[in-house]
Amino acid sequence: MTGPSLRPRPGTAIQQFSFVDALVAGLYEGAFRAAEVSAAGDLGLGCGDALDGELVLLDGVLRVCRAGGVVSEVAPDELVPFAEVARFEPSHSETVARMTEKQFEAHVEALVPSANLFYALRLDGAFEWIQVREAVKQSAPFRPLAEAARDQHEDTVGAGRATMVGFVGPDVFQGLSVADFHLHVLDEARAFGGHVLDFEIAEATLQIQAFSAFTVRLPEVASYLQAELDDMDADAAIREVEGS
């Protein structure tokens, strides 16, 4: 397929479990079974229970990338506090080469028809290098996300093959989702991964799907039900944590 045929298909939606402002407030308690998350799509991302690592849903398999470089599959009964997933049926595919992260983002922004829709992305291929972070498991009482993120583990891997997955969200949805680009990665061996901070593409296949529907499942655990989340203005905290 060539050409930006990026119109949302009727009946498709991104499914989100909890929302980003809940994480910003420190609500890291696992609330959704991993099996529920995997059943809602085959591509996505999220974070582990108690902020224990970064989730990557790729080809229907949910994995967690923990600090120290350990990647493992998530058991169906494990609980997660946040995830964003989609059933990926891309309508645009092309080869991209020799791009920094900023050049890649500008390229995608030029392809898509509107900054006010959601887009799911998948990028498979060779990278010159990738910088990632993995969140570090927290202990209750949980600190707000901006404080907890100071413990994060960062790592850079050199040239190799990998798959990045994630989403581009409208600015107006910041706090419910993540505005702009939010990508997680797994290397080809499924032995290294995490939240993407920076990268340089050698040559890769980019696939994109547009969405005009976005649904949110709210947690029902006590920590969420009892939380005071009124009048949160978390934009600066989210952009700091996400590396935007």
Does the domain formed by 14-242 have CATH 3.30.1330.80? Answer: yes
pLDDT at 69: 81
Q: 108 in helix, strand or coil?
A: helix
Half-sphere exposure of 188 (CA within 13 A, CB side): 9
The H or E element that residue 224 is part of is helix 222-225
- Domain ranges across the chain: 14-242
- One digit per residue, the tens of pLDDT, for the chain of length 244 reads 334 489 999 999 999 999 999 999 999 999 999 999 999 999 999 999 999 999 999 999 999 999 878 999 999 999 999 999 999 999 999 999 999 999 999 999 999 999 999 999 999 999 999 999 999 999 988 998 989 888 889 999 999 999 999 999 999 999 999 999 999 999 999 999 999 999 999 999 999 999 999 999 999 999 999 998 876 555 555 555 566 4
**Integer CA distances (angstroms), 232 to 20, 168, 210, 239, in order:** 11, 22, 28, 14
Place of tokens 């583990």: 153
